[in-house]
Structure 1
Amino acid sequence: MTLDEKLAQLVGFWVDQGDEVVAPMAGEMASSTRYEDATAHGLGHLTRVYGTRPVDPAERANWLWAEQRRLQTETRLGIPALVHEECLTGLAAWKAATFPTPLAWGASFDPVLVERMARAIGGSMRELGIHQGLAPVLDVIRDPRWGRVDECIAEDPYVVGTIGTAYVRGLQAEGVHATLKHFVGYSASQAGRNHAPVHVGRRELEDVLLPPFEMAVRLGNVRSVMNSYAEIDGMPVAATPEYLTGILRERWGFDGVVVSDYFAVAFLETMHAVAAGRGHAAQLALEAGIDVELPSGDAYLEPLAERVRDGRMPLDVIDRAVLRLLTEKEELGLFDANFDEAPTRIDLDGPEHRAIARELALESVVLLSNDGTLPLASPARIALIGPNADSAEALMGCYSFANHVLAHHPGTPLGFEIPTLGEALRARYPDAQVTSALGCEVEGGDVSGISAAVAAATEADVAIVVVGDRAGLFGRGTVGEGNDVESLELPGLQRRLVEEVAACGTPVVLVVLSGRPYAIGWALDGIGPDSAGKVSAVLQAFFPGEEGGTALAALLAGDDNPSGHLPVSLPRSAGAQPFSYLHPILGGPTEITSADSTPVRPFGFGLGYVGFERSDLRVAAEVPTDGTISVTVSIRNTGERAGTDLAQLYARDVVSSVTRPVAQLLGYRRVRLEPGERVDVRFDVPTSRLAFTNNRFERVVEPGTIELWAGASCDDREASGVVELTGRDRPLNGGLPELTEVTVLRGPRV
């Protein structure tokens, strides 16, 4: 291969890139290179062929097949391009299914269903000739002020790792390579600001931020990783071999391809100021371990070629990256691919997609409070209030095609069915009188509609007030990439709307459609029959996707039982951030500070229309540090209808060589129970789940006393026990990450 042919394989080309801002600083970084010139020596990646503009999938597939044939026949090497797309809430393409956002995956606590979803997404991508998906996001949530929280799964690394790995397996089972992002530290940014510096200690990095990535690499065999934009302690990840080579490849054995986040190589010059020009940036990134520059070749083409020709850049580093990219293309079957006949009939939102979307939406909605108003039996008069009540966009996340791309193309139809909550409620209650009142917009200060909303609520049997976010990019919207906030109050006048409607005395059901948890303790306080003027029930839905409106209507009516649980603590205030349930003693409330960071609802919390009782936790008194802790707990449905509980097992290391969290999730499992049914749930916990980085920066399992408990959340010690880990410190020297096995032992009804 010539130098030009090698470099051509290490870059992408964004064929449709225009003025729309669908990536950070995309307008400023737009390439002026003609497509024909960029592909003269071949091409590594085609960037977002389907995901940049609303193009008909079948017509675009015909174009893509022709372009791949041209690369096969009109370039010397005849190597087709690898096609990548975003696929965080489904394939980000026109007319494709839109699933719940990743924060909703976390709320479902259902990796099996997430894997099914990923397989459906992967099948659609494969049909369109797409080879690589830029998902999942494995950043552990550290601060809900960060705009990209809706792209994340949870604040617990084990939940992020298990669900994220399930997504990887599902996508790759369909022959599409998953891409982990953003490796590493991106979500721990200063003050919750996008692209801000990261200040984390080595222990937090090792014990909280890295484990999900390790699980997806070593247990999921992921084939691609994307770097983080972050700089950690002054070291940009994109230029730091310690992360992209030392940890990822040498320690974990990753043998796939590392791609740059969009424009991340150029950012080494423009935003980090560690590179004196694009060629220098390219060399730093390649030597650190970034094999492919996306979305285009701003640094890896002519600027890099110049450094090779004058002897500053060794060719063997380029050869290493080229070999990795060509190996990936071979794995994907591109060298032998036939592009004679493009698909002509493509359904990207078929019955299977919609069934999965509905099931995941149902499982992910969290009931935060209820005074008995829910479920709604058969109200005769419903006041439907709020800016998100009849908004399809409010059901979808930032990386949905609708909010990410179609926002730049007003008047273009969505291309798929997505009933709003209002439409779904009217269908569910055809005999009810439904009166709609906007009240206020998501953003802005117009109060003129609030009085009409109060009037509508006064005449109704129940007021359903639907508030929350509108996802978007870089200031367009209230949450999403670049939409970071200083306050965790509901945007605009939405709190005022809720409070004034609640004051009229009609029962109020608050539905929050959002991409981050908000500080809504004011709506949860004082819930009960004597609390006039308070909200009667609160449902939290994290952008539940195309079937979210239908799912919410079913849950409000009691056709299904709420079973979602909080994957992130519900914050008390913005001033209490950053907060994680994985905090040491000093991270919680103490008598030596007047500030209280305690969340208003803890991690793992979620109510339903039935109650569950956990009891009789059984565990051996002693287990060696290299053993398995078997814990059994009984769970009983105390209600009169079937329901699904989330079995949760937590632990606390009482005394250790470094401070440890006051609670740590060891394992979880959704358990469906009939009325009165009791089951035993057994958690087989490898002791490595209790490993941590000690005071010598060694990852070990230490002997000592471990408190264990099961309950309705991390704070609920309903059934508890103690186990003593015996023996010596057990070093973990590179063994595969171990998972807790959870088994439901069915027994007779009680």
Structure 2
Amino acid sequence: MTDLWQDPRETPEARVADLVPRMTLREKVSQLSGIWWLDPEAGGMAPMLRETLGAQPDWDELVQDGLGQLTRTFGTAPVAPREGLELLARRQRDVVAANRFGIPAQAHEECLTGLAVWGATVYPSPLCWAATFDPDLVQRMGGRIADSMRALGVHQGLAPVLDVVRDARWGRVEETLGEDPFLVGLMGSAYVRGLEEGGVVATLKHFLGYSASRAARNLAPVSAGPRELADVFLPPFEMALRAGARSVMNSYTDIDGVPAAADPELFTALLRDQLGFEGTVAADYFSVAFLESLHRVAADLGEAARLALEAGIDVELPSPKAYDAPLLAAVTAGLVDEKTVDRAVSRVLRQKCELGLLDPGWAPVEPADVDLDDAESRALALEVAQRSIVLLANDGALPLREGVTVALVGPRADTPQAMQGCYAFPMHVLVHHPEVDDGLTIRTVREALAETYDLSYAPGCPVLSGDDDDLAAAAATAAAADVCVVVLGDQAGLFGRGTSGEGCDVPDLRLPGRQEELLEALIETGTPVVAVLLVGRPYDVSRLAPRLAALVCGFFPGEEGAQAVADVLSGRVNPSGRLPVSFPDSGSSQPWTYLSPTLGRLTDVSSVDPTPLFPFGHGLSYASATWGAVTATSGPRWDTDGTCEVEVELANHADRAVSEVVQVYLHDVSSSVVRPVQQLVGAARVDLEPGAATTVRFTLHADLTSFTGRDRVRIVEPGPVELWVGASSADVRAVVALDLAGSSRQVGHDRALEPEVTLTSR
């Protein structure tokens, strides 16, 4: 007879309620952590890795009472799919055989730029997703990544990152979706839908306020008030939870002295009680132990376990440190209530139930040869890259004419590493295995451009350092050509081993190394210079940008990024990306975000002008849509509990396809608290073939105007507002004046978070 907990016909809640009382305390605790079975060479991936995990434990002893998660079976060292599947299946069979209930482990992997395993497609970085302003495309990408994960027996992906950029000096900017909470939520929730509809648990990172660390230093304390947390950092998580995310990961930082991993206000009062989240909270790697070793709020690991568990951290990752013997001892000593353990294990088991891991007859995926970088995936990676390239400036030099001689220069011109961020497998893991190839083909800009143009090449300088002779040689190469294309940017890495990436924070936004000197030398030749930036953050290029013939930004565009860059430079693709982060101007101060109030912008009371060189939402094209009328069809009255409609007419009078991103910003004329001058509340990418015309209609609920009032309650406040409709935050094509009429209204987490957008052909 099948026990109730094994019956798939029963609800997950009923099954878990039947199972948990049958388990011993040790069996429960065993479900609350993962195991990272490290390769001997894996210790270099993060500082203190070996020290934090300790000696490699005995495998049989670890799994004898069950196991919560298997950490990065594929993503720790280069293993072929069949080899990894054999390893995962063997470990899962060990886990099932060892524990009384035959419960397998939940397997997780990183998936920030695609599944981070050897030979899997490297998709563009999240900044690129955001630059597309195309949530449908990002959702397709998420679904494709989920297919790869399921084929390998992986249940959970540690992405997306929903941290809103507040200071571009932070090393993890490359992992984010930009500086606007609406855009971060829009694109992040699209990715979540792709993963979750593909059967993979999405994990939202990092709850909450991680990117507001002081001076942009990784893991530094956060100075953010409750209003900033509620109105800037929280909305993307609200949107992604509504999209179906089933896991959340904590931030490493502390807010006003309380580490996130030990904060029940965040993970119980806010996430559970207010937002209604019913999934699992996974500890960012080592963060439970960090309560003792870094934050110093716990005297020992047992106290760290108590603080984290009571706060609402259900699973300790990547391996058991505090949620092991220290937690068992704390429960036995009466320092931790076993009911708190029951709460966490119930959530873990409910998710395993949803994944089918408690069903009779469950079996691991059998070893097979799996193509993780097939033609369809590469084509999708190319499409995302093409739609993410941002043309920042152009004096007519682009697209490059046929037959011109091109001097290709720069440290990022002839390396596949230029296309990849720090969480791409080759940059994250293979740097520790130099004897192993990438497992896939990643071309360079030099290789892609050489198919179309007569190239001469000189590197000029590396990303960091360099010598005068190489700078001079590059200038000579440029002087002999019709046009010079210089490819500049970052070397992605981890914890100081790069110029961008986790732990690679910077004190200023000057281009790394001698790259600005190289650019100056090239400009001095008199040859028109087209600069291409392959970067993980926006840089201050204001000193030289006005003297460039053109400036292109690609962020980290993935394995097909070189082809996308070549397609844009040649004109085969009409550039249509838009900036998810502002580029600073000379003399501007950091941190900067376009979400600034009046006194955060240029004023007469400060000598510092923070106006960006290239603003949020900016992007040029070779041919653009023609804007027609912008009208509020619902009239000037906008009820505080109603909707308004704004229509934008677009037409394509060009001889090629065009793509426009219509952006709608809210400007609150006056309010009871200080508000940003403008903030994005709607955006729509519109593709038009030659001769086509369309009307874009935004139906905006008054909830989109809400903010946290003086009493820290979110309200829709009556009064005059304006909708600034345009092609960027600085390129406003029309101002729609409206009056929010009615009484002030409190709104909750069930409020409208996005406008309804419809396109009607004309």
TM-score bracket for this pair, using the shorter chain length: over 0.9
**In the TM superposition, what whole-angstrom CA distance separates every residue of 1:640-681 from its partner, at most 9, and x where no partner exists?**
422101111112010111111111112111111234544321
Unaligned residue ranges in structure 1 (runs of 5+): 526-533
**C-alpha distance in 2 between matches for 1:277 and 1:513:** 44
Residue number in structure 1 paired with 2:583: 570
Match of 1:362 among 386, 409, 416: 386
- Note if contact 1:617-1:709 (Cα within 8 Å) is conserved in structure 2: no
Is the Cα–Cα contact under 8 Å of residues 20 and 408 in structure 1 kept in the other structure? no
Residues 220-275 of structure 1: CA distance to partner in whole angstroms, max 9, x if unpaired? Answer: 12110000001001111110100011110000100000010000001111111110
Does structure 1 residue 716 correspond to structure 2 residue 737? no
Partners of 1:211 and 1:676 in 2: CA distance:
39
For residue 338 of structure 2, the aligned residue among 310, 315, 324 is: 315
Secondary structure in 2 matching 1:464 = strand
For 2:25, the equivalent position in structure 1 comes to 3
Q: Tell me, what secondary structure is at the counterpart of 1:333?
A: coil
Measured in 1, the distance between the counterparts of 2:482 and 2:537 equals 30
What CA distance in whole angstroms lies between the structure 2 residues aligned with 1:257 and 1:228? 15
Counterpart selection for 1:446 from 459, 467, 482: 467
Q: SS at the partner of 1:467?
A: strand
The answer as to whether partners of 1:23 and 1:262 remain within 8 angstroms in 2 is no
Correspondence for 1:147: 171
Aligned twin of 2:596:
583
SS at the partner of 2:698? Answer: strand
What TM-score comes out, normalization by structure 2 length?
0.95
Query: Does the aligned pair in 1 maintain the 2:151–2:365 contact within 8 Å?
Result: no
Alpha-carbon distance, 1:173 to partner: 1.1
Q: How does 1:460-471 map to 2 (within 5 A)?
A: 460-471=481-492
The one of 573, 595, 620 equivalent to 2:608 is 595
Letter of the 1:16 counterpart: L
CA distance, structure 2, for counterparts of residue 63 and residue 252 of structure 1: 38
> Within 5 Å, which residues of 2 pair with 1:90-489?
90-217=114-241, 219-336=242-359, 338-339=362-363, 342-427=366-451, 429=452, 432-489=453-510
What secondary structure does 2:393 align onto? strand
The answer to whether the aligner puts 1:701 opposite 2:698 as a matched pair is no
Amino acid at match of 2:696: V
Code of the residue aligned with 2:659 in structure 1: it is T
2:112 maps to 88
Give the Cα separation in 1 of the matches to 2:365 and 2:435: 32
Give the partner amino acid of 1:599: P
Confirm whether residue 604 of structure 1 aligns to residue 628 of structure 2: no
Give yes or no for contact 2:640–2:718 (8 Å, CA) kept in 1. Answer: yes
Counterpart of 1:529? none
Structure 1 residues 340 and 260: CA distance shift in structure 2, 3 A: closer
Is residue 545 of structure 1 aligned with residue 540 of structure 2?
no
Partner SS for 1:375: coil
Indicate the residue corresponding to 1:528 in structure 2: none
Distance 2:588 2:528 in 1: 31
- Counterparts of 2:75 and 2:748, CA distance in 1: 43
Distance in structure 1 (CA, Å) of the matches to 2:722 and 2:134: 26
Task: Tell me how far apart the structure 2 counterparts of residues 562 and 398 of structure 1 sit (CA, whole Å).
Answer: 25
Q: Which amino acid aligns with 2:622?
A: Y
Once the two structures are aligned, what percentage of the paired residues are identical? 51
Corresponding residue of 2:679 = 664
Alignment correspondent of 1:57: 81
Change (3 A) 1:644 1:13: same
TM-aligned CA deviation for residue 379 of structure 1: 3.1
In structure 2, the partner of 1:15 is 37
- Aligned to 2:455, the other structure's residue is in SS state strand
| Aligned residue-pair number | 735
In structure 1, the residue matched to 2:16 is: none
Name the CA shift for 1:340/1:674 in 2 (closer, same or farther; >3 Å).
Answer: closer
**Judging changes above 3 Å, is the alpha-carbon distance between structure 1 residues 601 and 304 closer, same or farther for their aligned structure 2 residues?**
same
CA shift, 1:463, in A, is 0.8
In structure 1, give the amino acid aligned to 2:244: N
* Residues 136 and 168 in structure 1, CA contact (< 8 A), matched pair in contact too: yes
Code of the residue aligned with 1:703 in structure 2: it is P
| CA distance, structure 1, for counterparts of residue 31 and residue 573 of structure 2 | 51
CA contact (8 A) 2:587 2:608 kept: no
For 1:155 and 1:24, the matched residues in 2 are separated by: 28
Q: 1:521 to 1:638 in 2, by over 3 A?
A: farther
Which residue of 48, 52, 56 maps to 1:29? 52
Looking at structure 1, the residues matched to 656 and 474 of structure 2 have their Cα atoms a distance apart, in angstroms, of 35
Question: In the alignment, which of 668, 678, 687 is matched to residue 702 of structure 2?
Answer: 687
CA distance in 1, matches of 2:33, 2:220: 26
Q: Which runs of 5+ in 2 are unaligned?
A: 1-22
Find the aligned partners of 2:125 and 2:43 in 1 and give their Cα distance. 23
2: CA distance, partners of 1:11 / 1:281: 14
> Is the Cα contact below 8 Å between 1:379 and 1:461 reproduced in 2?
no
- Whether the aligned pair in 1 keeps the contact of 2:587 and 2:610 (CA below 8 Å) is no
Mean alpha-carbon deviation: is it higher for 507-516 or for 604-613? 604-613
CA shift for structure 1 position 17: 4.8
Deviation, 1:568, is 0.7
Structure 1 runs, 4 residues or longer, greater than 6 Å off = none
Question: By how many angstroms is 1:441 displaced?
Answer: 0.3
| Cα distance in 1, alignment partners of residues 80 and 688 from structure 2 | 45
Moved more, 336-345 or 111-120: 336-345
One-letter amino acid matched to 1:268 = L
> 2: distance between equivalents of 1:673 and 1:683?
18
8 Å Cα contact 1:13/1:35 also seen in 2: no
The TM-score with structure 1 as length reference comes to: 0.96
Label 1:23 to 1:169 Cα distance change in 2 as closer, same or farther (>3 A): farther
Secondary structure of the 1:448 match is helix
Asked whether the 8 Å contact 1:644–1:671 carries over to 2, the reply is yes
Between the aligned partners of 2:430 and 2:728, the Cα distance in structure 1 is 39
Deviations 1:365-384 (A, max 9, x none): 10000000100121342111
Which sits farther off after the overlay, 550-559 or 338-347? 338-347
Change beyond 3 A, Cα 1:585–1:615? farther
One-letter code of the match for 1:347? D
Partner residue of 1:66?
90
Contact 1:615 1:719 in 2 (8 A): no
> Cα RMSD between the aligned structures?
1.4
> Cα distance 1:677–1:521, how it changes in 2: closer, same or farther (>3 A)?
farther
2-structure distance, mates of 1:379, 1:453: 21
Structure-2 separation of matches of 1:491 and 1:735:
45
Out of 610-619 and 306-315, give the one that drifted further.
610-619
Greater mean alpha carbon deviation, residues 541-550 or residues 418-427: 418-427
Match for 2:563: what amino acid? T
**SS of 2:474 mapped into structure 1:** helix
Query: Does structure 1 conserve the Cα–Cα contact (< 8 Å) formed by 2:587 and 2:609?
Result: no
Q: Deviations over 1:454-509 (max 9, x none)?
A: 11111111111000001000111100000000010110000111111111111111
User: Partner letter of residue 387 of structure 1?
Assistant: P
- Give the drift of 1:286: 0.1
Q: Which amino acid aligns with 1:710?
A: V
For 2:310 and 2:235, the matched residues in 1 are separated by 24
User: Larger deviation: 113-122 or 604-613?
Assistant: 604-613
Preserved CA contact (<8 Å) 1:72 1:80: yes
Structure 1 residues 215, 340: CA separation in 2 closer, same or farther (over 3 Å shift)?
closer
